[in-house]
């Protein structure tokens, strides 16, 4: 429904700023919303107060705000993948045919705040007005829900364009190592395109929707087939790495607290020693003064 390649904003403002708006209605007449999902990779300036935020605003046909949703909470300091899924029947039912959606972000006021967002995607699943399965064209039936995993292996990454042509407008960039979801076979309406027919161009579904090249013009690989097992392994590895990073942060925090506690203990001991020394000096002075008073 909506994709945004990247946003990097250093303007410190509390007011939400428009990031993207759906080109048309979220639902057509007679349709209902089954689910709505948003995802992205994001982070703030990496230090200080956390204020970054992303909002989804749904408006009716007249442009009046109907509902607003906080998508991912407050932006983290370190880059993280975030997912929002709307499944509540009450929330889903509040979005009506003809409504439009817009995504806003808030950097936050104050010195040094920034917000970085990559590969934002908003998708919806609808019910109603479905083509009967028995009457679906054979090519569309073959294309239905068939995907394959690829990984970006080109040293310069992969550029995603809105269409299969190499001159189509770019919609995003994928860094080397990114795992992408590719439609197989390609959509029937583009199957006759020379670059699609040759297999050089493929339809990318996630993390950015569009078209990308499997190879360069001279045959150098840009995308390589990626097994599901490898995807699961990478996800598990990434999760383990995040867990290790979190544990390292907790260990560092424990070490810092122990150091602070040790400093406070040393300070208390030094104060106690100083007070004891002062009491000893007063006692010695009093003892020395006693004979003089006796005389």
pLDDT in tens, 144-168: 445 677 888 888 889 999 889 999 8
Percent of the chain with pLDDT over 90: 26
Q: Average pLDDT of 219-228?
A: 80
Give the Cβ contact number of residue 157 at 10 Å. 16
pLDDT at 53: 94
pLDDT at 235: 60
Query: Is-contact 146 183, C-beta < 8 A?
Result: yes
pLDDT at 135: 37
* Backbone angles phi and psi of 280, in degrees to 5: -65, -40
Higher pLDDT among residues 16 and 207, named by residue: 16
* DSSP 8-state symbol, 112: T
Cα–Cα distance measured from residue 213 to residue 217, given in angstroms and rounded to the nearest whole number: 9
CA nearest to 81, candidates 53, 39, 46? 39
- 225-277 pLDDT, tens digit per residue, is 876 545 555 566 567 777 778 888 888 999 999 999 999 999 999 888 888 88
- 69-87 pLDDT, tens digit per residue, is 999 999 999 999 988 988 7
């Amino acid at each position: 429904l909506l994709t945004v390649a990247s946003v990097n904003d250093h303007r410190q403002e509390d007011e939400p700023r428009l990031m993207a708006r759906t080109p048309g209605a979220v639902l057509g007449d007679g349709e209902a919303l089954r689910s709505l999902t948003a995802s992205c990779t994001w982070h703030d300036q990496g230090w200080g107060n956390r204020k970054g935020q992303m909002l989804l605003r749904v408006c009716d046909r007249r442009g009046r705000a109907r509902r607003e949703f906080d998508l991912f909470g407050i932006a983290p300091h370190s880059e993280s993948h975030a997912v929002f899924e709307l499944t509540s029947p009450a929330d889903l039912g509040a979005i009506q045919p003809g409504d439009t959606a817009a995504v806003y972000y808030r950097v936050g006021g104050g010195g040094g705040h920034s917000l970085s967002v990559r590969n934002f995607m908003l998708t919806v699943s609808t019910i109603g007005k479905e083509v009967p399965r028995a009457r679906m064209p054979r090519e569309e039936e073959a294309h239905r829900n068939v995907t394959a995993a690829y990984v970006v292996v080109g040293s310069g990454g992969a550029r995603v364009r809105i269409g299969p042509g190499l001159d189509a407008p770019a919609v995003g960039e994928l860094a080397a190592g990114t795992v992408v979801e590719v439609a197989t076979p390609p959509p029937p309406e583009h199957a006759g395109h020379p670059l699609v027919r040759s297999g050089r161009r493929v339809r990318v579904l996630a993390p950015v929707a569009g078209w990308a090249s499997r190879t360069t013009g001279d045959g150098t690989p840009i995308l390589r087939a990626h097994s599901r097992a490898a995807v699961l392994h990478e996800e598990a590895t990434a999760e383990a790495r995040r867990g290790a990073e979190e544990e390292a942060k907790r260990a560092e925090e424990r070490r810092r607290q122990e150091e602070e506690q040790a400093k406070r203990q040393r300070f208390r001991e030094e104060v106690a020693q100083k007070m004891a020394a002062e009491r000893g000096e007063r006692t010695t002075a009093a003892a020395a003064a006693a004979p003089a008073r006796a005389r």
